[in-house]
Amino acid sequence: MRKSNRAAAGAAAWQAVYEGARPGKPSVWERAGSVPRMMGARMRGRYTGLSSSRLLLFLAALAYIVSPIDLVPELFIPLLGVADDAFVAVWLVSGLMNETERFLDWERTGAPHGQEQEYVQGYVVD
């Protein structure tokens, strides 16, 4: 991918990141730092919130962005050539933002996003 394509894709991705960061939610840096932990927990089988197909799509998108081979080459169709890279980058970043939010919730509570842990009322016996 040419340098100008990477810059356009990066700018679009960062725009998606900042629009997706809401008050009270994890920061962009927290989310970025959680990606290696999420991948490690997924590979060890502890975190099942990230499906294998979704993980493969993320890896394929990353490979497409860093690959010098494009589906729509900039040499022939300059505007569409940049747009396809930017689209993939924005999809990847927004998808990772959603997944890392679910993972961070899982780390905090041990329960999937949107679900609270179930507690059984009773007595604790030592």
> For the segment 15-29, what is each residue's pLDDT rounded down to a tens digit?
656 655 667 778 888
pLDDT digits (tens, 9 = 90+) for 43-87: 998 999 999 999 999 999 999 888 877 766 666 676 777 777 788
Give this prediction's pTM: 0.66
Tokens of 105: 């919730």
Give residue limits of the domains in the chain.
3-109
pLDDT at 125: 62
Q: What is the four-CA torsion angle of 29, 33, 34, 36, rounded to 10 degrees?
A: 150
pLDDT at 72: 66
Tokens of 26: 């994890």
